[in-house]
Amino acid sequence: MSTYFHDARVLAETIDSLCEPYRQNTIEWLESCTRRPMREPRTDLLMFLHGLHPVVRESFLRYTGQILREAVHYFGVPQGAWEPVVPRRVEAGSSPVLHAA
């Protein structure tokens, strides 16, 4: 299993935690960044990450994770809840991607 399989899964789960229309807006934004369709975010992100140089992959994960953390903070509401989801903070030395709780 690749080291970035977990990162792709967490990014996809984070995208799925966004409410509509923000989820679809995020997918469209990722399509423009990756220049490929994101019909199945988990698989498509994994394929995208696989093709990146490790330095570029690390940068993409760091900044995309940061943007998605902020998006979830403002626009991620679990079904039936009224308050935004507050993402867990990433500990120093761990993966730069948002960690699922």
35: left (phi over 0), alpha (psi -120 to 50) or beta: left
Cα torsion through 11, 15, 51, 39, rounded to 10: 150
Q: What is the pLDDT of residues 80-98, one digit of tens each?
A: 555 555 555 555 555 555 5
Q: What is the largest CA-CA distance in the chain?
A: 41
pTM recorded for the entire structure: 0.68
Band of residue 101 on the pLDDT scale cut at 50, 70, 90: very low
CB neighbourhood size of 90 (10 A): 16
Cα torsion through 15, 26, 79, 73, rounded to 10: 80
Q: How far is CA 48 from CA 2, 24, 74, in A?
A: 13, 18, 26
Q: What is the pLDDT of residues 22-40, one digit of tens each?
A: 899 999 999 999 999 999 9
